[in-house]
């Protein structure tokens, strides 16, 4: 007999300002502390060293910001989620802000499994806009982009072109050029920092980078992890006031 | 006040662990940098991860920030990668709250807990844009001060410090602020204040040492005399002792950092001082007498601290924590507070309580078992020496059977790894004493194998540094060659022992710790040379470089033999003789003689007074919550503990004498 499934909630939060320098692992610890501060009935793992059952989506690199981070929490019982965005935000450091909390349907796929791509705002510094635009056009017109990768200590060459779903040159910023890119997170994935390298411009540096969306596909429809496809709020977030 | 954040921010993606430099901790006091306020920058001269948990620094930080006329920020030594970028870009040392440049503060105040951080102190002062030598500072520069255990011999850093605080800082930090507040108006108006007048005023504060008001004379390797050269300077500088911890429930808001640090948990100090009388232990000697925090206050501080920070772990800090009166009921109370009324999980998960040190007896293990209901991996004991003769000499009166029964209890309760701490290089130590360490470890491992096949014993050995204000202060430290020989002896002997591992502290680092803790004012030039030659982060083995120190000593015409290795005579003036830790020098000398005669000295909490001076000189007494000695014995001292209740023990501080 399998034990009854425990309820889960999905938390959407953003990360901006000074806290963007806090690592993914440390963010997990901050959430553990925040959940304990609120005395939420978080489920713990069994065994000698019980840990709260938290599962994060894709890690965000240190120094990158985000409007769309997600975290699933397993609980012994479902709390009232209405006030949770505000209460959690208060319990977290400035810059980590919970924008939505939703109960999850039993059997919902994990974030790690479900996310297929992310949209990024990437600022590049050190090259004029037309040079950046030309480099982007070249990447988008290429049929393959072999990249050396080290996996389990072995160096392999992978074609990362399929991971680039879209890149748009939005325009100038105060210090550089703003790109908006949609990058796959599936089998072949690509990180924003790698994309900046792929542009092939010497002296080009990464400025501010911000993840704006994480996307999943349900029944062929692209949606975000806090908006279930059969809900009328499909493409919108339920925001805290 | 300005901020370096705009210059710093673009550098942070390029350095390791940038979260160390952003502040934003839970509990941080972000007081507006109003230029009218007396401003302190409390600095720990090591990395953020090591320095942030320092309780002394956090306590003073809160006390200053509670004042209406002052504010405090914190700063830590930037790691070498960021330091290189800061120097290249001209960014000064900054505080983590407002990223205010170090030179804009009124005081840079350092906590000194380890001698190997001394070169980092110089580096931090220099990075802050302040001349490292006190004599070169002008009226517009910050004052550079220090406190902490290492400052009981302040001389090696005397050239670099404007003022040093001896002992507990809770009261003194306020008195110093009072002085600075009187001069602050001048600084606000003109950007400068009269530092000579300030230093003269600071020297009037009890327990504040102003090194520039004293001069040392030398007789070859020895100190001939050390005397005041200003009328403002008292001939002897005492230490400050806070009589009642109940008056100081700090830190009230312990900092909970955004990134992982050492001791990443709630810490609650349960008492200060220790009268076990271990002769090698400087901490025990200089923090006397014992002052316990009321059990109810401990419980409140733990419950509030856990609720506020969201931590699920608390350490009760002190020396020999299991000696806290009625520790069992305190611990039980904390564990109960962590559970909800129906006894079920209250949604915070399990709370764990840890003690930094465990007594070597079954009682200690019993408490540990109560605390660590889960995760019984390793348990640590500190017998300190391998033979009973040696333990009598150091006054750590643990009998072999005490250790074996403690270890047996540990394995019986489900622990599989035992760690034993030992010192080598103790007075009159023979190879038989050294090899006794291996023998104890072997016997403990054999006991363990009766309970589990996985039983292992790690013997961890460190070289002994005879510290100021201990009975061993006259003893000449073992040479690093001799310490290495003893380590090799132990390594060869334990190699074939089943289940016994040996770990050791680098004897070369022990040598430098001796130089920095036992030297006189001439060591300042050595520290400066090491720093100028790039010797920072010397407490990090990957950066430690003995040759830098030996070269600097020889360049200054000094030797390790004179500074560290030679025994000192009763009549010799010690470099720290103008400082008082409250202990009578003749008490320490007598205890040194008793030691050599292998005579032990019982814990004075439950025996008549030995007049060491720590209480009588200050009009205070031990503050213990219970006149009954701790359950489970006194580490095999053979002391008749049943008589404990008959010994007059004062339950509250005697304030009368303090008022006189």
In degrees and rounded to multiples of 5, residue B151 shows phi and psi of: -75, 0
- Residue B615 in this model has a pLDDT that exceeds 90: no
Q: How confident is the model at residue B279 (pLDDT cuts 50, 70, 90)?
A: very high
Q: Indicate the residue of B12, B310, B345 with minimum beta-carbon distance to A21.
A: B12
Note whether B498 and B450 are same-domain residues: yes
In degrees and rounded to multiples of 5, residue B171 shows phi and psi of: -85, -40
Chain centroid, CA B317 distance in Å: 12
Chain B residue with minimal CA distance to A30?
A: B258
- Residue B657 in this model has a pLDDT that exceeds 70: no
Q: Which residue has the tokens 């997990």?
A: A28
**Contact by Cβ (8 Å): B314, B320:** no
**Which residue in B375, B354, B446, B361 sits closest to B410, CA to CA?**
B361
Residue that finishes a domain, picked among B459, B475, B505: B505
In degrees and rounded to multiples of 5, residue B597 shows phi and psi of: -85, 5
Any idea what the CATH number is for the domain that residue A68 is in? 3.30.70.580
Chain centroid, CA B576 distance in Å: 18
Angle at which helix B195-203 crosses helix B172-190, to 10 degrees, equals: 170
Note whether B358 and B501 are same-domain residues: yes
Asked if the structure places residue A240 within a domain, the reply is no
- Best probe of the A interface among B10, B11, B347, B373, by most A CBs < 10 A, is B347
- Residue B651 in this model has a pLDDT that exceeds 60: no
Distance in angstroms (rounded) separating the CA atoms of residues B170 and B588: 27
Query: For residues A213 and B639, which has the higher predicted lDDT (pLDDT)?
Result: A213
What pLDDT is stored for residue A2 in this prediction? 61
Distance in angstroms (rounded) separating the CA atoms of residues B40 and B73: 6
Note whether A97 and A119 are same-domain residues: no
Query: For residues B572 and B600, which has the higher predicted lDDT (pLDDT)?
Result: B572
Distance in angstroms (rounded) separating the CA atoms of residues A20 and A14: 10
**Contact by Cβ (8 Å): B337, B374:** no
Chain B residue with minimal CA distance to A21?
A: B19
| Residues of chain A found within 8 Å of residue B12, distances taken between Cβ atoms | 21, 63
**Contact by Cβ (8 Å): B112, B13:** no
pLDDT in tens, A101-139: 999 988 888 898 899 999 999 999 999 999 999 999 999
Q: A152-158, long-range: CB within 8 Å, 24+ apart, which pairs?
A: A158/A188
**Does A23 contact B19 at a Cβ distance shorter than 8 Å?**
yes
What pLDDT is stored for residue B627 in this prediction? 56
Q: Indicate the residue of B19, B374, B376 with minimum beta-carbon distance to A21.
A: B19
Distance in angstroms (rounded) separating the CA atoms of residues B272 and B287: 7
Q: Indicate the residue of A26, A35, A37 with minimum beta-carbon distance to B258.
A: A26
For strands A115-125 and A96-103, give the pairing: unpaired
Note whether A82 and A154 are same-domain residues: no
Asked if the structure places residue A241 within a domain, the reply is no
In degrees and rounded to multiples of 5, residue B45 shows phi and psi of: -80, 45
- Residue B80 in this model has a pLDDT that exceeds 80: yes
| DSSP structural state of residue B600 | -
Any idea what the CATH number is for the domain that residue B344 is in? 3.20.20.70
Task: Using alpha carbons, list the distances in angstroms from residue B301 to B70, B73, B326, B338, B341.
Answer: 25, 23, 17, 13, 20
A90 touches chain B (CB under 8 A): no
Burial of A93 (0-12, 13-18, 19+ CB in 10 A): buried
Note whether A148 and A75 are same-domain residues: no
A residues 207-226 lying closer than 8 A (beta carbon) to B: none
**Which residue in B478, B452, B457, B454 sits closest to B466, CA to CA?**
B478
Asked if the structure places residue B545 within a domain, the reply is no
Query: For residues A3 and B147, which has the higher predicted lDDT (pLDDT)?
Result: B147
Asked if the structure places residue A223 within a domain, the reply is no
Q: How confident is the model at residue B376 (pLDDT cuts 50, 70, 90)?
A: low
Chain A residue with minimal CA distance to B98?
A: A18
**Contact by Cβ (8 Å): A33, A16:** no
Note whether A48 and A88 are same-domain residues: yes
Note whether B309 and B203 are same-domain residues: no
Distance in angstroms (rounded) separating the CA atoms of residues B204 and B318: 31
pLDDT in tens, B130-161: 999 999 999 999 999 999 999 999 999 999 99
Asked if the structure places residue A227 within a domain, the reply is no
**Contact by Cβ (8 Å): B574, B155:** no
Any idea what the CATH number is for the domain that residue A132 is in? 3.30.70
What pLDDT is stored for residue B378 in this prediction? 79
Note whether B384 and B466 are same-domain residues: yes
Q: How confident is the model at residue B659 (pLDDT cuts 50, 70, 90)?
A: very low
- Residue B343 in this model has a pLDDT that exceeds 50: no
Distance in angstroms (rounded) separating the CA atoms of residues B11 and B87: 12
| B620, B146, B188, B231 alpha-carbon torsion, rounded to 10° | 70
Q: Which residues face B318 on adjacent strands?
A: none
- Residue B361 in this model has a pLDDT that exceeds 80: no
Note whether A100 and A59 are same-domain residues: yes
Note whether A119 and A161 are same-domain residues: yes
Distance in angstroms (rounded) separating the CA atoms of residues B344 and B420: 37
| Sign of the dihedral through C-alpha B151, B152, B153, B154 | positive
Distance in angstroms (rounded) separating the CA atoms of residues B431 and B63: 50
**Does A21 contact B311 at a Cβ distance shorter than 8 Å?**
no
Q: Which two tokens stand for residue B3?
A: 């901020």
> Domain total for chain B?
2
- Rounded to the nearest angstrom, the minimum Cα separation between A187 and chain B is 27
pLDDT in tens, B215-251: 999 999 999 999 999 998 999 999 999 999 999 999 9
Asked if the structure places residue A2 within a domain, the reply is no
Least confident of A187-191, B325-329, B642-646: B642-646
Q: Which of A198-228 are b and which e, b meaning 16 or more Cβ less than 10 Å from the residue's Cβ?
A: bbebeebebbbbbbeebbbebeeeebbbbbb
Q: Indicate the residue of A18, A33, A39 with minimum beta-carbon distance to B346.
A: A39
Note whether B305 and B400 are same-domain residues: yes
Rg value, chain A, Cα: 20
Asked if the structure places residue A143 within a domain, the reply is yes
- Best probe of the B interface among A21, A47, A61, A208, by most B CBs < 10 A, is A21
pLDDT in tens, A170-208: 999 999 999 999 999 988 889 999 999 999 999 999 999
Q: Indicate the residue of B259, B348, B375 with minimum beta-carbon distance to A23.
A: B259
Asked if the structure places residue A103 within a domain, the reply is yes
Note whether B373 and B467 are same-domain residues: yes
What pLDDT is stored for residue A217 in this prediction? 86
Note whether B315 and B451 are same-domain residues: yes
Asked if the structure places residue A194 within a domain, the reply is yes
Note whether A160 and A83 are same-domain residues: no
Distance in angstroms (rounded) separating the CA atoms of residues B265 and B267: 6
Residue that finishes a domain, picked among B198, B228, B258: B228
Distance in angstroms (rounded) separating the CA atoms of residues B404 and B399: 9
**Contact by Cβ (8 Å): B650, B620:** no
> Domain total for chain A?
2
Average pLDDT value over all residues in chain B: 90
**Contact by Cβ (8 Å): B297, B246:** yes
Distance in angstroms (rounded) separating the CA atoms of residues B625 and B327: 10
- 3-class state of residue B289 by DSSP: coil
**Contact by Cβ (8 Å): A81, A74:** no
User: Model pTM?
Assistant: 0.93
Note whether A59 and A28 are same-domain residues: yes
Sheet containing B266-269: order of strands? B266-269, B313-317, B352-354
Q: Which two tokens stand for residue A79?
A: 């709390």
Q: Indicate the residue of A36, A44, A48 with minimum beta-carbon distance to B310.
A: A36
Q: Which residue has the tokens 């419980």?
A: B299
Percentage of chain B exceeding pLDDT 70: 91
**ipTM at complex level:** 0.90
Cβ pairs A/B, distance under 8 A:
79
Domain that holds residue B378: 268-505
Domain that holds residue A146: 114-218
- 3-class state of residue A198 by DSSP: helix
Any idea what the CATH number is for the domain that residue B163 is in? 3.40.50.280
Distance in angstroms (rounded) separating the CA atoms of residues A82 and A135: 47
Q: Where are the beta strands (DSSP E) in A47-114?
A: 54-56, 65-74, 96-103
**Which residue in A118, A112, A114 sits closest to A182, CA to CA?**
A118
- Rounded to the nearest angstrom, the minimum Cα separation between B19 and chain A is 5
Distance in angstroms (rounded) separating the CA atoms of residues B144 and B137: 10
| Sign of the dihedral through C-alpha B267, B273, B277, B278 | positive
What pLDDT is stored for residue B236 in this prediction? 96
Note whether B24 and B143 are same-domain residues: yes
Note whether A174 and A192 are same-domain residues: yes
Asked if the structure places residue B572 within a domain, the reply is no
- Residue B654 in this model has a pLDDT that exceeds 70: no
**Which residue in B359, B320, B354, B352 sits closest to B338, CA to CA?**
B352
| B247, B43, B203, B217 alpha-carbon torsion, rounded to 10° | 130
- Residue A48 in this model has a pLDDT that exceeds 50: yes
Q: Which two tokens stand for residue B611?
A: 């007049």
Q: What is the mean pLDDT of residues B199-206?
A: 98
Residue that finishes a domain, picked among B457, B480, B505: B505
DSSP string covering B318-385? SSSGGGSTTHHHHHHHHHHHTS-TTSS--SS---EEE-S---SSHHHHHHHHHH-SS---EEEEEEES
What pLDDT is stored for residue B362 in this prediction? 66
What pLDDT is stored for residue B59 in this prediction? 98
- Best probe of the B interface among A24, A93, A96, by most B CBs < 10 A, is A93
């Amino acid at each position: 007999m399998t034990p009854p499934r425990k309820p889960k909630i999905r938390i959407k939060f953003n990360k901006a300002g000074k806290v963007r320098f806090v690592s993914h692992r440390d963010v997990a610890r901050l959430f553990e502390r925040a959940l304990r501060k609120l005395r939420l009935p978080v489920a713990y793992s069994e065994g000698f060293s019980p840990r709260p059952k938290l599962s994060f989506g894709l890690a965000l690199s240190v120094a990158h910001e985000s409007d769309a981070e997600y975290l699933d929490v397993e609980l012994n019982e479902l709390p009232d989620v209405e006030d949770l965005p505000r209460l959690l935000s208060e319990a977290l450091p400035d810059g980590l802000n919970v924008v939505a909390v939703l109960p999850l349907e039993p059997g919902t796929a994990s974030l790690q499994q479900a996310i297929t791509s992310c949209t990024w705002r990437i600022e590049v510094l050190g090259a004029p806009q037309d040079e950046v635009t030309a480099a982007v056009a070249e990447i988008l017109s290429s049929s393959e982009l072999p990249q050396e990768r080290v996996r389990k200590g072995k160096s392999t060459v992978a074609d990362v072109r399929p991971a680039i779903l879209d890149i748009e040159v939005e325009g100038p910023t105060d210090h550089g050029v703003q790109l908006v890119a949609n990058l796959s997170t599936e089998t072949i994935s690509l990180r924003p920092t790698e994309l900046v390298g792929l542009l092939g411009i010497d002296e080009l540096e990464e400025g501010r980078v911000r993840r704006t969306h994480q996307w999943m596909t349900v029944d062929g429809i692209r949606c975000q992890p806090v908006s279930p496809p059969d809900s009328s709020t499909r493409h919108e977030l339920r925001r805290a006031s | 006040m300005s901020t370096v954040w705009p210059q710093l921010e673009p550098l942070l993606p390029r350095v390791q662990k940038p979260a160390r430099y952003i502040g934003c901790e839970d509990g941080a006091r972000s007081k507006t940098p109003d230029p009218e306020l007396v401003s302190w920058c409390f600095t720990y001269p090591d990395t953020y991860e090591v320095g942030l948990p320092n309780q002394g620094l956090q306590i003073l930080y809160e006390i200053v920030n509670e004042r209406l006329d002052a504010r405090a920020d914190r700063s830590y030594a930037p790691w070498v990668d960021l330091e290189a970028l800061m120097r290249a870009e001209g960014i000064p040392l900054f505080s983590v709250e407002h990223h205010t440049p170090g030179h804009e503060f009124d005081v840079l105040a350092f906590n000194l807990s380890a001698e190997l951080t001394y070169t980092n102190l110089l580096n931090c002062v220099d990075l802050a844009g302040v001349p490292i030598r006190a004599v070169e500072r002008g009226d517009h520069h910050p004052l550079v001060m220090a406190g902490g255990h290492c400052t009981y011999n302040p001389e090696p850093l005397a050239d670099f410090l404007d003022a040093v605080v001896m002992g507990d800082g809770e009261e003194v930090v306020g008195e110093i602020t009072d002085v600075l507040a009187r001069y602050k108006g001048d600084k606000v108006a003109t950007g400068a204040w009269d530092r000579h007048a300030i230093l003269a005023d600071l020297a009037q504060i009890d327990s504040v040492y102003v090194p520039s008001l004293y001069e040392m004379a030398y007789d070859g390797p020895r100190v001939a005399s050390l005397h005041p050269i200003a009328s403002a300077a008292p001939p002897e500088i005492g230490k400050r002792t806070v009589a009642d911890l109940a008056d100081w429930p700090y830190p009230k808001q312990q900092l909970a950092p955004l990134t992982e640090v050492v001791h990443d948990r709630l810490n609650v100090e349960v008492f200060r001082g220790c009268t076990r009388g271990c002769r090698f232990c400087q901490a025990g000697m200089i923090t006397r007498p014992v002052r316990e925090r009321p059990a109810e206050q401990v419980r409140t501080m733990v419950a509030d601290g856990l609720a506020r920070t969201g931590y699920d772990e608390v350490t009760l800090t002190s020396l020999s924590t299991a000696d806290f009166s009625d520790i069992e009921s305190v611990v039980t109370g904390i564990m109960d507070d962590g559970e909800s009324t129906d006894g079920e999980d209250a949604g915070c998960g399990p709370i764990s309580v840890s003690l930094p040190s465990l007594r070597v007896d079954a009682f200690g293990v019993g408490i540990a078992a109560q605390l660590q209901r889960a995760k019984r991996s390793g348990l640590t004991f500190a017998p300190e020496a391998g033979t009973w003769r040696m333990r009598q000499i150091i006054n750590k009166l643990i009998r072999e059977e005490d250790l074996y029964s403690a270890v047996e209890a540990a394995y019986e309760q489900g622990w599989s790894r035992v760690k034993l701490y030992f010192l080598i290089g103790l007075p009159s130590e023979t190879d038989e004493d050294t090899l006794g360490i291996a023998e104890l470890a072997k016997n403990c491992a054999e006991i363990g194998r009766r309970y589990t096949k996985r039983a292992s014993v790690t013997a961890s050995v460190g070289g002994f540094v005879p510290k100021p204000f201990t009975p061993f202060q006259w003893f000449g430290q073992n040479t690093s060659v001799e310490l290495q020989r003893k380590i090799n002896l132990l390594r060869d002997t334990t190699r074939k022992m089943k289940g016994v591992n040996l770990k050791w502290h680098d004897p070369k680092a022990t040598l430098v710790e001796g130089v920095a803790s036992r030297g006189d004012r001439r060591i300042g030039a050595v520290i400066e040379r090491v720093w100028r030659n790039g010797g920072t982060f010397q407490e990090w083995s990957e950066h430690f470089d003995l040759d830098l120190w030996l070269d600097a000593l020889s360049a200054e015409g000094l030797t390790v033999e004179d500074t560290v290795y030679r025994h000192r005579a009763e009549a010799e003036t010690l470099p720290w003789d103008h400082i008082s830790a409250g202990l009578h020098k003749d008490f320490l000398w007598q205890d040194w003689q008793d030691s050599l005669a292998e005579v032990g000295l019982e814990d004075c909490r439950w025996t008549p007074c030995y007049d060491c001076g720590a209480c009588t000189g200050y009009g205070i007494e031990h503050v213990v919550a219970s006149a009954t000695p701790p359950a489970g014995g006194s580490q095999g001292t053979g002391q008749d503990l049943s008589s404990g209740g008959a010994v007059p023990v004062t339950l509250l501080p005697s304030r009368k004498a303090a008022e006189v």
